[in-house]
Amino acid sequence: MTLAPRYLRGVVAGFCVAPSLALAQPASAPAGPAEAGKLTVEAQAARTMQARNLAASCAVCHGTDGKPPADGPIPRLAGRQQADLVELMFNFKNGKRSGTVMPQIAKGYSDAQILAMAAWFADQK
């Protein structure tokens, strides 16, 4: 086990305490058959919070909410297409694209976590 993913997991676990507590609460029962399988407003909000907390790990380099200083060397993540961000992360993760730090960082996240973070960054304007 390398240091970086362990560090990141620690950070992620720390950030996720509140949302996972929220998820531990029983969700209110769906109103009827039409509602079955849909997320409650609370469950959706908890997922958004989890994605935001995952994305907070990126802020140290990519800036708060994925908005780095405009004149800096680090690429902006906020407001970009989710599909583009997912592709970039998958390419780092599977070794198609090299980089100084991102290949190691991307390997620390599951595909589902990458999808969630990318959706969250896409929503930041």
Taking CB under 6 A as the rule, which mask of x and - marks residues 58-77 in contact with ligand HEC?
Answer: x-xxx-----------xx-x
Q: Token digits for 107?
A: 């390997």
Dihedral, CA atoms, 15, 111, 9, 63, nearest 10 degrees?
-60
Looking at the Cβ atoms of 49 and 88, the one nearer to ligand HEC is 88
Taking CB under 6 A as the rule, which mask of x and - marks residues 16-55 in contact with ligand HEC?
Answer: ----------------------------------------
Alpha carbon distance 41, 73 (integer Å): 38
Q: How far apart are the first and last CA of the chain?
A: 36
Determine which residue in the list 68, 117, 120, 122 makes contact with ligand HEC, applying CB under 6 A. Answer: 117
Q: Token digits for 87?
A: 């592709």
Could you list the residues that contact ligand HEC (CB under 6 A)?
Answer: 57-58, 60-62, 74-75, 77, 85, 88-89, 99-102, 105, 117
